[in-house]
C-alpha cells in the first residue's frame, strides 16, 4: 500500500513526480524531499496504522520506508536510520514487509534495505551518471531517456521457473535488491551484503513431539499477532487448506473480526467444500468470488501492468479478482496462508526426496535438473520452443542450475529436506509467491499480511528435525499436530490437493481469441522468440509427449501469453498504463 523512489546524482526534478505518478494505486498521499545531489519520494495511503506518515527528516538525514515492520512501529521511516546505524545488532530481529532508503548526508551515503523474505521489492539502475531506485520497475521506466531493452537471459530463466529469479530483471541494466539484503551506495560504488539468511541448527529437544508442538504453536501465534496494526477487522484468503485455516484460527484468538474470501471456479472448484467447513467451524463470514476465463480476460492488461514483472502462474488472475472483492468489502488489510509448504515440508518435498532416494532408477538428472523440471514449464524443451535467433541470445548452459547450487548444495543445511526448503523459500517463496501476492493486494489498495513468512518462525522451523516436517508420507506434520485439536480432522489430515486453476479450459475456450492475439502466428513472427509449430501444438490441446496431465497445457500457454503481454506493456510501451497513450 505504499512505494518509494529516489536518486543520487543530478537529475531533473520532474522525474521524481513521474516516478510517483507511475504508482498512483499505491496511495492517496505523496511526499518528496531534496538535498544536494539526492532526492527521495514516497507514496502511501493516509490514515492507516503502522505506516510512515511521510519522509523522515533529521538534519542532513532523510529516510523513507514503504511498508511496515513486524511488530509495527509508529513510523518505520523514523526508526530505520538507528537500526541501520547499529549494524548487525540493529538488524538482528528486523522483520516485516518493507523496502527502505536512508540518506546519510554527513557521509553522503545511501543505504537501501529489503525485508527478510521479499514481500516488498526494490529495483535500481544507473543512467547518465545518476543512481535511481524504486519500489516498482515501471517507476524506473519513467526516467526520461533510460534505454529499455529486453534481457534475453532473464526471459530464459522465466521460461523455466514461470518467474524471473535472481538479481536481474527482464530489462537490461536494471537490477533488484534481493530479500534480506542491504545495499550501501558510497563514492559511486554499491556494496550489497546479506543481513538475514536461514541456517539449519537442529535442536534434539524438538525430537519430542509435545515439545515441538508447543514451540511451533507459540511461534505461529506470535507471527500472526506481530502483523496486526491495531485493526479490528481484516480479510483472509481462505483456501480450505491447513495453512490459511490455521491463520484464521490465530486471528480469532487475537480478538480480530475476520472476513473470509475464497475462489469459486464453478464445476472446476476443488476446495470449496473444505473452505465452507472451516468457515462454519470457526463461524467466519465467507464470500465466494466466482472467476471464469472471461473475467480474467477482461482485466488481463491491468493485471499484467500491476504485476510489474512477468509471472506465469495462472493464479494471478484469480488473485487480482479476489483482492478486488476484499477491497469492495471495505477492507484495507488481508491475510493469507502462504508459506506453510515452504517452511514445513509441503508437497514439493516428496518428489524431490523420492528422486534423491531412487536417483539410479530414474536416469542421470542432477538434483538441480530434477528441481528445475518440477516447475513443469520449458526446461528441456528449449530446442522445440526457441527460435535459433532467440536461442543464440540466451547465453550458455548452467545459468539456471547455478541459481540452485547455493541451496541444494548448501553448507547452511546438512539434511537434504532442509536444502530443498532453502531453495523453495529463497526462490519460489521470496521471488514468486510473495511479490505477486503483494502486487495483487496493492493493486486494490490492500495491505498484504503473510504471517507464515515470519523470521522467528522460519528460524524455528530450521531447528526442527526433518521427521517433524515430512513424517513418512505425511507433509507438514508438526503443523498438523499443532492444529489437530482446533480444526476438523478432515481438514487437518486430508491429502493436499491445492488450488487448481482451470487454465487449460480457459485458454482453449473463452480466452482463445486473446491467445490468438498474443501467441498467434503473426504475433510470434513479429517477436521472433518462439517457434510456431510448438506453440500451435499447445494451442490445439496437444501435450508434450512425456506429460500426462492436461493442466500442463494451460500452464505453459499462460506462461507464454503473460510474457508477450508483459513485453508489449513494459518493453514496447515503456511501462505506461495500458490505454494511457504516449
Task: Give the end-to-end CA distance of the chain in Å, rounded to a whole number.
Answer: 26
What CATH number did the domain enclosing 169 receive?
Answer: 3.60.20.10
Give the rounded distance of the alpha carbon of 185 from its chain centre: 26
Q: What is the tally of structural domains in the chain? A: 2
Task: Please choose, from the candidates 279, 269, 315, the residue with its C-alpha nearest in 3D space to the C-alpha of residue 296.
Answer: 315
What's the CA angle centered on 257, arms 254 and 259, to 5 degrees? Answer: 130
Is residue 442 included in any domain, yes or no? Answer: yes
Query: Within this chain, do residues 115 and 223 fall inside the same structural domain, yes or no?
Result: no
Q: Which helix (H) or strand (E) holds 298?
A: helix 293-307
Task: Please choose, from the candidates 234, 249, 202, the residue with its C-alpha nearest in 3D space to the C-alpha of residue 327.
Answer: 234
Q: Which domain holds residue 152?
A: 2-194
Query: Within this chain, do residues 87 and 215 fall inside the same structural domain, yes or no?
Result: no
Contact 351, 474 (CB under 8 A): no
Domain-ending residue, one of 194, 219, 234: 194
**Residue owning grid cell 482485466:** 299
Check residue 365 and give its pLDDT: 66
Contact 137, 123 (CB under 8 A): yes
Is residue 137 included in any domain, yes or no? Answer: yes
Contact 496, 508 (CB under 8 A): no
Question: How many C-beta neighbours within 10 Å does residue 547 have?
Answer: 13
Q: What is the rounded distance in angstroms from the CA atom of residue 533 to the CA atom of residue 185?
A: 48
Q: What are phi and psi of 483, to 5 degrees?
A: -100, -5
Is residue 13 included in any domain, yes or no? Answer: yes
Query: Within this chain, do residues 44 and 151 fall inside the same structural domain, yes or no?
Result: yes
Which pTM value belongs to this model?
A: 0.95
Query: Within this chain, do residues 260 and 180 fall inside the same structural domain, yes or no?
Result: no
Check residue 352 and give its pLDDT: 59
Query: Within this chain, do residues 477 and 344 fall inside the same structural domain, yes or no?
Result: yes
- The pLDDT tens digits of the residues spanning 362-411 come to 455 678 888 888 899 999 999 999 999 999 999 887 888 888 888 888 88
What CATH number did the domain enclosing 564 receive?
Answer: 3.40.50.620
Query: Within this chain, do residues 221 and 186 fall inside the same structural domain, yes or no?
Result: no
Contact 173, 125 (CB under 8 A): yes
User: Residue 57 to residues 35, 40, 536: CA-CA distances in angstroms?
Assistant: 11, 11, 57
Contact 579, 335 (CB under 8 A): no
- The pLDDT tens digits of the residues spanning 165-183 come to 999 999 999 999 999 999 9
Contact 563, 533 (CB under 8 A): no
Domain-ending residue, one of 165, 194, 223: 194
Q: What is the rounded distance in angstroms from the CA atom of residue 223 to the CA atom of residue 350?
A: 27
DSSP code of residue 207: G
Contact 348, 420 (CB under 8 A): yes
Strands annotated E in 250-327: 257-264, 286-290
Query: Within this chain, do residues 102 and 36 fall inside the same structural domain, yes or no?
Result: yes
Check residue 250 and give its pLDDT: 98
Domain-ending residue, one of 159, 194, 229: 194
Check residue 362 and give its pLDDT: 46
Is residue 314 included in any domain, yes or no? Answer: yes
Check residue 410 and give its pLDDT: 84
**Residue owning grid cell 536444502:** 419
Query: Within this chain, do residues 123 and 211 fall inside the same structural domain, yes or no?
Result: no
Check residue 80 and give its pLDDT: 98
Q: What DSSP assignment string belongs to 255-275?
A: T-EEEEEEEE-GGG-SSHHHH
Is residue 92 included in any domain, yes or no? Answer: yes
3-class DSSP state of 26: helix
Contact 138, 126 (CB under 8 A): no
Query: Within this chain, do residues 13 and 135 fall inside the same structural domain, yes or no?
Result: yes
- The pLDDT tens digits of the residues spanning 14-55 come to 999 999 999 999 999 999 999 999 999 999 999 888 899 999
Check residue 358 and give its pLDDT: 47
Q: Provide the grid cell at 455.
A: 523470521
Query: Within this chain, do residues 122 and 258 fall inside the same structural domain, yes or no?
Result: no
Residues of the chain with pLDDT under 70: 347-365, 497-498, 581-582
Is residue 568 included in any domain, yes or no? Answer: yes
Q: What is the rounded distance in angstroms from the CA atom of residue 307 to the CA atom of residue 561?
A: 14
- With both helix axes pointing from N to C terminus, report the angle between 416-423 and 349-357 in degrees, rounded to the nearest 10: 140
Contact 40, 8 (CB under 8 A): no
What own/partner pairs with CB < 8 Å and gap ≥ 24 does 123-126 have? 123/169, 123/174, 123/175, 123/176, 123/177, 124/174, 124/175, 124/176, 124/177, 124/183, 124/190, 125/173, 125/174, 125/175, 126/173
Query: Within this chain, do residues 180 and 233 fall inside the same structural domain, yes or no?
Result: no
Is residue 146 included in any domain, yes or no? Answer: yes
Is residue 425 included in any domain, yes or no? Answer: no
Q: Which helix (H) or strand (E) holds 194?
A: strand 189-194
Task: Please choose, from the candidates 459, 451, 454, 450, the residue with its C-alpha nearest in 3D space to the C-alpha of residue 418.
Answer: 459
| Positive or negative: CA dihedral 458, 462, 468, 474 | positive
Check residue 359 and give its pLDDT: 53
Query: Within this chain, do residues 339 and 477 fall inside the same structural domain, yes or no?
Result: yes
Amino acid at each position: 500500500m505504499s512505494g518509494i523512489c529516489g536518486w543520487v546524482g543530478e537529475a531533473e526534478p520532474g522525474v521524481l513526480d513521474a516516478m510517483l505518478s507511475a504508482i498512483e494505486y499505491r496511495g492517496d498521499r505523496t511526499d518528496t524531499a531534496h538535498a544536494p545531489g539526492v532526492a527521495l519520494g514516497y507514496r502511501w495511503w493516509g490514515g492507516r496504522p503502522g505506516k510512515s506518515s511521510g519522509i523522515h527528516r533529521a538534519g542532513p538525514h532523510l529516510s523513507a520506508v514503504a511498508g511496515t515492520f513486524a511488530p509495527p512501529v509508529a513510523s518505520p521511516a523514523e526508526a530505520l536510520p538507528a537500526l541501520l546505524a547499529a549494524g548487525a545488532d540493529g538488524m538482528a530481529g528486523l522483520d516485516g514487509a518493507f523496502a527502505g532508503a536512508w540518506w546519510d548526508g554527513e557521509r553522503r551515503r545511501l543505504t537501501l534495505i529489503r525485508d527478510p523474505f521479499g514481500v516488498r521489492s526494490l529495483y535500481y539502475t544507473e543512467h547518465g551518471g545518476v543512481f535511481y531506485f524504486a519500489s516498482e520497475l515501471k517507476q524506473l521506466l519513467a526516467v526520461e531517456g533510460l534505454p529499455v531493452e529486453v534481457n534475453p537471459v532473464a526471459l530464459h530463466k522465466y521460461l523455466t521457473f514461470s518467474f524471473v529469479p535472481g538479481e536481474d530483471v527482464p530489462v537490461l541494466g536494471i537490477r533488484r535488491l534481493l530479500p534480506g539484503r542491504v545495499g550501501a551506495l558510497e563514492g559511486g560504488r554499491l556494496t550489497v551484503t546479506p543481513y538475514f539468511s536461514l541456517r539449519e541448527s537442529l535442536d534434539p529437544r524438538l525430537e519430542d513431539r509435545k515439545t515441538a508442538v508447543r514451540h511451533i504453536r507459540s511461534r505461529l501465534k506470535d507471527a500472526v499477532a506481530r502483523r496486526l496494526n491495531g485493526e479490528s477487522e481484516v480479510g483472509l484468503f481462505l483456501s480450505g487448506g491447513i495453512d490459511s485455516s490455521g491463520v484464521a484460527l490465530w486471528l480469532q484468538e487475537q480478538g480480530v473480526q475476520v472476513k473470509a474470501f475464497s475462489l469459486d471456479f464453478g464445476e472446476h472448484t476443488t476446495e470449496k467444500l473444505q473452505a465452507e467447513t472451516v468457515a462454519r467451524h470457526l463461524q467466519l463470514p465467507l464470500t465466494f468470488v466466482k472467476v471464469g476465463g472471461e473475467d480474467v480476460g477482461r482485466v488481463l492488461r491491468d493485471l499484467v501492468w500491476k504485476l510489474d514483472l512477468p509471472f506465469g502462474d495462472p493464479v494471478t488472475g484469480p488473485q487480482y479478482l479476489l483482492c478486488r472483492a476484499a477491497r469492495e468489502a471495505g477492507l484495507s488489510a488481508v491475510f493469507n496462508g502462504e508459506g506453510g509448504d515452504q517452511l514445513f515440508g509441503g508437497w514439493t518435498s516428496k518428489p524431490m526426496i523420492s528422486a534423491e532416494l531412487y536417483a539410479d532408477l530414474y536416469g542421470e538428472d542432477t538434483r538441480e535438473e530434477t528441481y528445475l523440471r518440477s516447475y513443469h514449464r520449458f526446461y528441456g524443451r528449449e530446442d522445440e520452443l526457441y527460435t535459433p535467433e532467440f536461442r543464440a541470445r540466451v547465453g550458455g548452459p548452467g545459468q539456471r542450475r547455478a541459481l540452485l547450487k547455493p541451496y541444494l548444495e548448501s553448507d547452511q543445511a546438512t539434511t537434504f529436506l532442509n536444502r530443498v526448503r532453502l531453495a523453495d523459500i529463497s526462490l519460489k517463496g521470496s521471488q514468486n509467491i510473495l511479490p505477486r501476492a503483494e502486487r495483487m493486494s496493492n493493486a486494490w489498495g490492500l495491505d498484504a499480511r503473510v504471517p507464515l513468512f515470519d523470521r522467528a518462525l522460519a528460524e524455528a522451523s530450521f531447528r526442527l528435525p526433518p521427521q517433524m516436517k515430512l513424517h513418512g508420507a505425511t507433509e507438514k506434520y508438526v503443523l498438523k499436530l499443532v492444529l489437530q485439536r482446533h480444526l476438523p480432522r478432515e481438514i487437518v489430515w486430508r491429502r493436499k490437493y491445492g488450488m487448481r486453476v482451470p487454465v487449460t479450459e480457459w485458454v482453449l475456450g473463452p480466452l482463445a481469441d486473446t491467445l490468438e492475439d498474443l501467441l498467434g502466428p503473426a504475433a510470434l513472427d513479429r517477436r521472433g522468440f518462439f517457434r510456431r509449430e510448438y506453440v500451435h501444438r499447445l494451442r490445439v490441446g496437444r501435450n508434450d509427449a512425456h506429460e500426462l496431465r492436461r493442466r500442463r497445457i494451460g500452464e505453459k500457454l499462460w506462461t507464454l501469453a503473460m510474457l508477450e503481454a508483459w513485453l508489449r506493456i513494459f518493453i514496447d510501451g515503456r511501462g505506461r498504463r495500458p490505454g494511457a497513450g504516449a
